[in-house]
Amino acid sequence: MTPRTLRGYTNARSVRVMKITASEFRANVMGVLDDVLDKGTIVEVRRRGRTIRIVADRPTRKLDRLVARPDFIVGDPDSLVHVDWSSHWTS
């Protein structure tokens, strides 16, 4: 998989393009389609000297891939500013 700029697709931003053969696509069809939908990867399948491009109907936003971590900060984040962390620091 090599990133490159693809003109004409969402303002010519840098996108991932995966070039594979038809045999590779057949062997990994579900995983390849998941990459297209979840990561926004563009897949180019080569068959009989022609290229078939598989692209999601809507580009994937980076923020949509964030994983919720509800237990990461417990309490008010502003109260962390006033915590004494010196006991955790080593000299």
CATH code for the domain in which residue 55 is found: 3.40.1620.10
Q: Which domain holds residue 38?
A: 2-84
**Partners of 20 in the β-ladder:** 45
User: Is 5 a residue whose pLDDT tops 50?
Assistant: no
Laid out side by side, the sheet with 14-21 consists of 2-5, 14-21, 42-47, 50-54
26-48 residue pLDDT tens: 999 999 999 998 888 899 999 99
Distance of CA 77 to the CA centre of its chain: 28
- Provide the pairing of β-strand 14-21 with 50-54: unpaired
Amino acid at 58: R
Q: Please report how many Cα atoms fall inside a 13 Å half-sphere around the Cα of residue 76, on the Cβ side.
A: 5
pLDDT for res 88: 80
Tell me, yes or no, whether 80 lies in a domain: yes
Q: What is the pTM of this model?
A: 0.54
Tell me, yes or no, whether 44 lies in a domain: yes
Question: 1 or 88: which carries more pLDDT confidence?
Answer: 88
% the chain with pLDDT above 70: 82
Is 40 in contact with 54 (CB distance < 8 Å)? no
